[in-house]
Every structure is written in C-alpha cells, then in structure tokens.
Amino acid sequence: MSHYKHLTLIEREKLLFFVGQGFGVSEIAKCLGRSRSTIYRELKRNSSRKTGYIPINAQKRYEKRRKQSKKHKRLEDKGLHELVKDCFLKHHWSPEQIAGRLKKEGCPYHISCTTIYRAIYAGMFDTPEQRRSTGNRGMKRKLRHKGKPRKSRNADSMRG
C-alpha cells in the first residue's frame, strides 16, 4: 500500500506563493512537508514558459490525467453500445447470441455475455423513464427469465 498523497489545490497555491517569494525547492519542500522530488516534478509537469506555474491549471491537468488513468468500461464505446442495444432490443437476441455473433462475424468489437448481463442489470440500456420507476421495470424484463433465478427440475414444489 502506498503512503503517497497527491498534492491538493491548497498545497499548489502555497507552492506558487513560495516560488513567488523566491524560495528554493528544498525550502518549499520543507515548508509543505513534501519530498524535493515531488516539488520538482510538480513544477516541471505543470509549468509553461509562457504563463509559468498556475495552481488552478495544475489542478485541472491533474484531474484530467487521473480520470484518463482509470480503466474504462467496454460499453462506454458508443459504437459497441449502440450495436449491442440494437441486437438486444430490435432483434431480441440473448446476450450469449450477441457475444457469439460478434466473435463469429469477425466484428472489430469483442464483448462477453457476462459484460452484457452486467450492463443490463446496471440499467445501461434503460430509458430515463425506466430508471425513475421502481421495481423490475427496465431491460431486465426483456430477458428470457425477466431477471428471475432459474428453478431446478429436482426442486420440490413450494406450493400446497
């Protein structure tokens, strides 16, 4: 587990103040309670020759890099999302059929049936009206068992 903490906007503003006062990197690091290399990296990464170091721009760049570093979901791709939605809603294919068909036809998109089921249960294909309603009202109802677990043949009847 890493004990490293990212610089906050307040620390970045303090950094700008200390740089403006003419402090050296070692002095700034001591004042902020950070490593010298952290300060060097921050200044190098987020400074420009034209404007210098601007904390708010540095914070925005940090947030952008942070967002891009995370793993993206398969169905965030618009093309794949529309293709799966079309096959599921218009052609009434099961997730297994969709995944198998894409693989067999050599489509540039690859997806597993488990990913499609997760998207259905998460409501990724639901309309805004379906999301607002309560209960089992979404695309789960389009599945063969409508989101209900299967019953085994050997199970005793619970009636009577």
Backbone angles phi, psi at 53, to 5 degrees: -100, 120
Q: Are 101 and 112 in contact (CB under 8 A)?
A: no
Choose among 37, 56, 36: nearest CA to 46. 56
- pLDDT for 54-93, tens place per residue? 999 999 999 999 988 888 788 888 888 888 888 888 888 8
pTM exceeds cut of 0.85: no
Q: Where are the domains of the chain?
A: 9-69, 74-142
Distance CA 144, CA 117 (A): 12
Fold of 9-69: Arc Repressor Mutant, subunit A (1.10.10)
Amino acid 123 reads: G
Report which of residues 62 and 158 the model is more confident about. Answer: 62
